[in-house]
């Protein structure tokens, strides 16, 4: 099997001090760096939103951070402005090794969010990652990064549905945990056939 490490969104805005800080988000960096040598390929994702993105609560007058809204593609959590293209908040954590094989950016279309590294939140617009993995013969994935209950969760479930052998290393992830979203994510990942290690 050809085994890739998929490092999800280890960016300044998801670390303490960032715009959408995940508790303990920076604690996983050294561990992820140390894991990189154990894989045939290392792929990093980067949440990469234009200013005024439709997932930002500031784009919806009268809405607050973490409120829900209805988008044409379904329900969407509204987030504080984060990971705006080219800003320091969108940059990788300064201690993260970024000498991997591929950096894939997502969430760059204003009208649609993208939690998963494979499909945008309409669950049908592909990011291209599947084709990259298949043409390199990669069939096994280990996921780490931020946040367990959003981008790691949706990436892992999509990867399993696409037929990849998927493991999430939970000790190398941290969660936002909105209203039980971590427990729900764990259940959904297990149901999809993802191994939680």
Cα–Cα distance measured from residue 156 to residue 159, given in angstroms and rounded to the nearest whole number: 5
Least gap, CB of 66 to Zn ion (angstroms): 13
Least gap, CB of 30 to Zn ion (angstroms): 24
Specify the residue, 13 or 186, whose C-beta has the smaller distance to Zn ion. Answer: 13
149 makes contact with Zn ion (CB under 5 A): no
Q: Which does 150 bind (CB under 5 to 8 A by kind): Zn ion, ligand VGL, none?
A: ligand VGL
Out of 14, 19, 41, 47, the only residue in the binding site for Zn ion (CB under 5 A) is: 47
Catalytic residue among 106, 113, 149, 173: 106
- 127, 143, 193 from 117: Cα distances, Å: 7, 11, 18
Per CB under 6 A, contacts with ligand VGL among 123-182 are: 146-147, 150-151
The residues carrying an active-site annotation are 9, 106, 151
The footprint of Zn ion (CB under 5 A) covers 47, 107
């Amino acid at each position: 099997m050809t085994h890739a490490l998929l490092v999800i969104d280890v960016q300044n805005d998801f670390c303490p001090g960032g715009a959408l800080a995940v508790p303990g988000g920076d604690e996983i960096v050294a561990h992820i760096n140390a894991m990189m040598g154990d894989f045939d390929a290392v792929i990093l994702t980067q949440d990469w939103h234009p200013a005024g993105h439709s997932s930002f609560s500031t784009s919806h007058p009268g809405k607050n951070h973490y409120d829900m809204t209805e988008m044409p593609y379904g329900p969407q959590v509204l987030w504080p402005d984060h990971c705006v293209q080219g800003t320091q908040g969108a940059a990788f954590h300064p201690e993260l090794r970024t000498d991997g094989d591929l950096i894939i950016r997502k969430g760059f279309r204003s009208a649609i969010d993208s939690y998963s590294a494979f499909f945008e939140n309409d669950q049908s617009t592909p990011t291209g990652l599947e084709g990259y993995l298949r043409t390199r013969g990669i069939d096994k994935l280990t996921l780490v990064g931020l946040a367990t209950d959003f981008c790691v969760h949706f990436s892992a479930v999509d990867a399993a549905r696409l037929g990849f052998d998927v493991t999430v290393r939970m000790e190398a992830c941290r969660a936002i945990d909105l209203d039980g979203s971590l427990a729900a994510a764990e259940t959904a990942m297990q149901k999809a056939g993802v191994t939680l290690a």
